[in-house]
Chain A
Amino acid sequence: MSSLLDAKDIKAYYRFSSQFVRAVDGVTLNIDYGDILGIAGESGSGKSTLGNVLMMNIRPPLQFMEGRIILEGKYDLTMMTYQDLKSQIWGRVIALVPQNALNVLIPTRKVQDFIIDVLKVHQKLRKKDAVQLARQRFQDVGLPVEVLIKYPHQLSGGMRQRVVIAIATLLSPKILIADEPTSALDVSTQKQVLKMLLQLHVDNIVKSTILITHDIAILRQVAIKIGIMYAGKIIETAPADQLLQTPLHPYTRGLIQCVVTPEPEISKRGLTHIPGEPPDLIRPPSGCRFHPRCMHAELICIQEEPPLTFMTNHHMVACHLATRWQACSL
C-alpha cells in the first residue's frame, strides 16, 4: 500500500527582492496511516515552513521551487490550483493548526459563530447543521459543549488551543499538521492538549499527525517517528525510541542533551547548550550546514554535503562521520 503522504525533495524559498531564504531546501519524507511524525528543530530551521509547504499553503514571499507531494499515491498536490486545494484538500484531507493558534479565534465572535463561518467556506453547511456537527464533535473529543457559546477571552489558553484543534479537525481530515500546539502552555495544560491529539487517533477522526515542536521531551511522549530539522533540511529520522536512545547526528545528540527534565540520568549531566546561532539561510554554510557549530567537523564536512543515508532499517542520518557515532553511546 502506498503511504498517505509522500514528499520528494521539496524546496520552498522565501523571496526578498533578489535574495532567497532557503527555508525548506530538499526535504524528503513520508507519512503512513496511523503515524505520528514529530518534527523537531530550533527556530529558523524551517520546520513551520515545512508544515505549510506539505499542504501547499504557499503565500508570498514564500515560493515553491521544486519537488513532489503525493497524496495516497494518487494526487500530486504541487500540480493543483489554489481553488482546488481550497475546496478539496485543506480542512478535508490535510488540516493545519498554525503556530499562533491561540489567537486564531476572533475576539468578537462566539466560538459557535466562528465555526459557522468556517464551515460555510469549506462545506457550504447550513447554520443548524454546522452547530449540530460542532456539538457532536466537541462531545466526542471531551470538550464541554458550553464552550460553543462563549467568547475567546472567556476561555483559558489551553481550552482555546483545544477548541482550535477541534475546529481544524471538524471535517475529519486524514492528516493533521500541528505547529507548536503546546509552546505557550504550562505543563499540565500541555499534557491535556497532547492527550487530545492522541484521542483524535483513537477515535479515528484523523489518520496521521505531524507534530512540529522544539521540545524533544514532548515528542518522546507522543511521536511514533521523529525527524530532526536543521537549516532547511531533515538531518536525521528514525522511530522515536530509536532516535532518542541512539541518536547519530551530533546536532540531534546536542538537542537531546539540552533537555532539562527532573530525571536522575539527566540531572547528572547538568546544563548543556549548543553554542552558536542557526545559520543564515540566504547564504547557508558549505558542505554540512551544521559544520560551523559542530565540534567534530573535519575537512570533508566543510567541502561536501552529507546525503541522508540509511544506517539501520529505519534510521537515516546525514553525517559524514555517522558510523563513528554508532559505536559510542550518548
Chain B
Amino acid sequence: MLVVTNLQKIYMSGLLRRRRTIAVEGVTFSIAEGEIVSLVGESGSGKTTTALMVLRLLRPTAGKIEFMGQDIWKISNSEEVKRYWQKVHGIFQDPYAAFNPLYKADRILYQALDLTLNKDNNRLTTIREALHAVGLRPEDVLGKYPHQLSGGQKQRLMIARCYLLKPKLIVADEPVSMIDASSRAGILKLLLELRERYATAILFITHDLGLAHYVSDRILVMHKGKIVEEGRPEDIINNPQHTYTKKLISDIPLIMKKWDEFADFHLKTKG
C-alpha cells in the first residue's frame, strides 16, 4: 500500500557557509494493508523526518513515496491533498502540543468530521461512538478544555479522530513516550484494535525497541539516517545482526535482570 523508495532528506543551514545535514538517506521500505511496521532508532536517527515526509508535511530531497500507486509528492491540488490526509493520519508524541488551549478539546473531533464527507446531522452521535471506542466517557471530555484533561485522555482523543476518519494508514510518532507507563498499554491496545476493525496499517515510530516488539509485525532499525536492520520482532530481539541493534537491545532497562556493570556497582557501595 505504501511504498517508499530511496528516500533522502538533506537539511541545509547557514547563510554564508552552507552546511548540509543528511537526515535520511536511501530509506526504502513498504507497508501492506493492515500491517504494523515499527521504525526504531535513537534521537537524531531520522525517524521523525521520515514520518513527516510520509505524512506529506516535509518535502524529500530525493526519492519517491507512493501511496496506493500514487506518488504523493506529485499531488498538487488541495482537494486531493485533503483526501490524502484523510487516508493517512498522524498521531504525534506530544498530546499537550496538539491542542489549541483556547478552544475546547472536542474541537479536533469536529475538525476531523469536516474532513470526511459525512455531513449528516448526527455529528454528536458519531462523536460519542468514537469516544466510546477509545475508552472515554463522552461526559468526561466533551466541552472540556485541554488543560482539564490528562495526557492519556488527550492522546485517546487524538486516536478518536482515527475512528472518525478511518484512515488507511496511521503514522504514529512516539505516541506513548509522554504517557504514563500505566496508561501506555491502553493506548497501544487502541491502535491494535483499530487495525483489527478497519485493517488500518500503522507506521509506528519509537526509540523503545521493547515497545516496538509488542506491537509490530515487522521492525526496521534506523541509525544515522539509514535502515540498518529489518526483521520480525522475535528475530530482532533474539538474534540481532547489526552492532547498533545489539547495543540498542543491551541498553533497554529490563525488569528481571540488572545490567552487569550496575550490579557490580551495588556490590561496591555495599562493601
* Chain A residues within CB distance 8 Å of chain B: 34, 42-44, 156-157, 185-191, 194-195, 198, 201-202, 214-218, 220-222, 224, 244, 254-256, 258-263, 265-267, 270-275, 277-278
4 closest A-B pairs (Cβ-Cβ)?
A273-B185, A186-B207, A273-B186, A271-B185
Chain B residues within 8 Å of A186, by CB = 42-43, 207
Assess the A220–B214 pair: CB atoms within 8 A: no
Assess the B265–A42 pair: CB atoms within 8 A: no
Assess the A258–B184 pair: CB atoms within 8 A: yes
Q: Which of B133-189 contact A (CB under 8 A)?
A: 150-153, 180-186, 188-189
Assess the B248–A188 pair: CB atoms within 8 A: yes
How many A-B Cβ pairs are below 8 Å? 126
Assess the B43–A157 pair: CB atoms within 8 A: yes
**The residue from A189, A195, A271 contacting B188, defined by CB atoms under 8 A apart:** A271
Shortest CB distance A273–B (Å): 4
Assess the B42–A263 pair: CB atoms within 8 A: no
Indicate whether A254 sits within 8 Å of B182 (C-beta atoms), given known contacts A260-B214, A277-B152. Answer: yes
Indicate whether A187 sits within 8 Å of B253 (C-beta atoms), given known contacts A260-B214, A261-B210, A273-B182. Answer: yes
B48-56, B64-72, B75-83, B255-263: which one contacts chain A?
Answer: B255-263
B214-234 vs A, Cβ < 8 Å mask (1 yes, 0 no): 100000000000000000000
Bound CA span A274–B153, Å: 14
Bound CA span A102–B153, Å: 26
Assess the B262–A194 pair: CB atoms within 8 A: yes
Interface residue tally for chain B (C-beta within 8 Å): 43
Instruction: List 8 other contacts, CB 8 Å, given A201-B265, A267-B213, A278-B150.
Output: A34-B269, A190-B251, A217-B255, A220-B253, A262-B254, A263-B255, A273-B183, A274-B183
Bound CA span A270–B42, Å: 25
Indicate whether A187 sits within 8 Å of B43 (C-beta atoms), given known contacts A220-B258, A274-B182. Answer: no
Shortest CB distance B21–A (Å): 14
Q: Which of B94-118 contact A (CB under 8 A)?
A: none
Assess the A258–B182 pair: CB atoms within 8 A: yes
Q: Would you give 16 A-B contacts (Cβ < 8 Å), ordered by A? A: A42-B180, A43-B151, A43-B180, A187-B42, A191-B253, A202-B265, A216-B181, A216-B255, A221-B262, A260-B208, A262-B254, A263-B254, A265-B256, A273-B182, A273-B183, A278-B150
Assess the A224–B266 pair: CB atoms within 8 A: yes
**The residue from B214, B252, B268 contacting A267, defined by CB atoms under 8 A apart:** B214
Assess the B181–A187 pair: CB atoms within 8 A: no
Chain B residues within 8 Å of A189, by CB = 42-43
Shortest CB distance B140–A (Å): 8
Q: Which of B8-52 contact A (CB under 8 A)?
A: 42-44
Nearest residue, chain B, Cβ from A215: B181
Indicate whether A221 sits within 8 Å of B247 (C-beta atoms), given known contacts A187-B207, A260-B210. Answer: no
> Does B209 interact with chain A (Cβ within 8 Å)?
yes
Indicate whether A44 sits within 8 Å of B182 (C-beta atoms), given known contacts A187-B209, A189-B42, A271-B214. Answer: no
Chain A residues within 8 Å of B247, by CB = 188
Bound CA span A259–B208, Å: 12
Chain B residues within 8 Å of A255, by CB = 181-182
Chain A residues within 8 Å of B249, by CB = 262
**The residue from A156, A157, A261 contacting B254, defined by CB atoms under 8 A apart:** A261
> Does B3 interact with chain A (Cβ within 8 Å)?
no
Assess the B180–A214 pair: CB atoms within 8 A: yes
> Does B1 interact with chain A (Cβ within 8 Å)?
no
Assess the B184–A217 pair: CB atoms within 8 A: no
Chain B residues within 8 Å of A259, by CB = 181, 255
Shortest CB distance B124–A (Å): 23
Shortest CB distance A201–B (Å): 6
Nearest residue, chain A, Cβ from B41: A186
